[in-house]
Structures are given as structure tokens and as C-alpha cells.
Amino acid sequence: MTEEVAAAEKGPNAWAQAIAALVVVGALGGALYVIQQNDAKAAAEAADKPATCRVDDEDEKAGQAAKAAKRVSGTQLCTALNRTDLPTLLGTPTEHARTAYGSDGSVETGGKKIPSPEGTVQLDTYTVKLSRSYDDFPIAGMQDLLNEAQTKTVAGHPAVLYSSPTIAIQFDLGGGKSQSAPGGIARTLVVAPDVKDNGGSYELSIWRQDNARPDDTALLRIAQQVLPTIPGWTTAR
């Protein structure tokens, strides 16, 4: 018995991805995020109701540390993303969340650890991921370094929309092995956390389980509705 999922193939943030591509041609400058939570999926399907953002002791500790440092946590990003109208915003109103979780990791850049919390929600058709990077890189100029990049404005904040490949991962649930192959396209919106673009970013990505091209309109709808609800978001005036 096998199960296939897709994961976005990208670096810790768009600037780091672009820089890695310039410095080491052909290197994979980032981590692979695998969307696989069988226990949460089984529980959600058995109850026939949307999954909720999982919170355990480690999540609570990470959330407390983020709050003390005046940062957003992975659980907060998951909660903001896992809203009741998310399926409608995606254009798949009859679906619901199969898995939902947050994580609080960091990315090492130049010998410095940069907090990079994220939240992920997976539905039948789409997977949606929202992350926050606390680096010093502005959005300006990013469009010149990313694939199919377009400049955008989201709730008055500078943004860049671009494409990145995904990797399809096939799990052998019986043998415990996995195989990977090229997948479809993920569409990602990188948004400055303030209107002056002083550094750091939010990244909102969507990709489809069937490897079809995601709907940009759906991505922009989600960004307009979700990002302003995140703690610490600066409202444009």
C-alpha cells in the first residue's frame, strides 16, 4: 500500500534560495518539507470533521518562547491559516482540512540562526503553508531573482508572486520506505511584514495534490484574508 503527497521544494526563504542559486549553481539550497501526518489524518477522517492545529508540550514551549521574544509562533500561523472558510477561499468549498499543524524551526544563515515558524494545512485538493522569516532581507528586488516573478501589493504591503517546483513523495506504508519524483508547481506569495519593507517576510504557498497548476486568484484571496489576522501584522494606512 502506498500513499503519494507533494511537498514544496524551496529554501528557507526566497532571498536565501536566490542567493544559494547564485553562489552554488545546481545546489539544493533548502530543506524539504514533507506533508505527512498519518495519525492526524486518520483521526480527522474517522470523525468526519476538519482537523485542528495540533498543540503538544513542545508546541506550547515554542509558543511561549516566541511570545517572550515578540515573535509569532508556528501554532499561531497554523491557527490563522486553518479558518473555517479556507476551503471556500481555495475554491473547493466542499472539502475540509485533513491535517493542520505548526512548527517552530530556524534557518542558519551566515552563522546566525533565523527563526522561521510555519503553519501547514492540507486538504484533498490543496496544501497551504504559511511561514514567517525574521531575516533582514527586504522584498524589493526579489522579483529579479525568482521564477515567473511578479510584483504585487497585499493589504498595502509590497509582495512578490513566484513559482517553485514541488517533489512528489510516495510512501510505502507497509515497508516504511519512500520514493521521490518531480511534482507540480507551487505558487508562493512573499509579503513584507510592514509597508516600508524593512526586512523579513511572510511566505504563503499553495500547491495541488494532482500536480495541476494552482489558482493564483485563490492564493491572493487567502493572503488578503489571512495575513491581517496574524499577531504583529502592521495595517497599512
102: closest CA among 74, 131, 141, 76?
74
Question: Looking at the domain assignment, is residue 99 inside a domain?
Answer: yes
* Alpha-carbon span 140 to 194, nearest angstrom: 12
Q: What is the mean pLDDT of residues 87-109?
A: 92
Question: Looking at the domain assignment, is residue 163 inside a domain?
Answer: yes
pLDDT recorded at residue 172 = 61
Amino acid letter, 54: R
Query: What are the tens digits of pLDDT across the range 125-182?
Result: 999 999 999 988 899 988 888 888 899 999 999 999 999 888 776 666 566 666 676 6
Question: Looking at the domain assignment, is residue 85 inside a domain?
Answer: yes
Question: Looking at the domain assignment, is residue 235 inside a domain?
Answer: no
Which one is predicted more confidently, 86 or 16?
86
Element of type H or E holding 169 = strand 157-172
Question: Looking at the domain assignment, is residue 237 inside a domain?
Answer: no
Q: What is the mean pLDDT of residues 17-21?
A: 44
- How many CB atoms sit inside 10 A of residue 134's CB? 19
Question: Looking at the domain assignment, is residue 121 inside a domain?
Answer: yes
Question: Looking at the domain assignment, is residue 36 inside a domain?
Answer: yes
Residue with cell 520506505: 177
pTM: 0.77
Element of type H or E holding 41 = helix 38-47
Q: How many domains does the chain have?
A: 1
Instruction: Note down the domain range covering 221.
Output: 2-229
Please tell me the number of Cα atoms within 13 Å of 73 on its side-chain side: 20
Which one is predicted more confidently, 77 or 2?
77
Q: In the chain, count H helices and then E strands.
A: 6, 8
Beta bridge mates, 120: 101, 129
Beta bridge mates, 106: 115
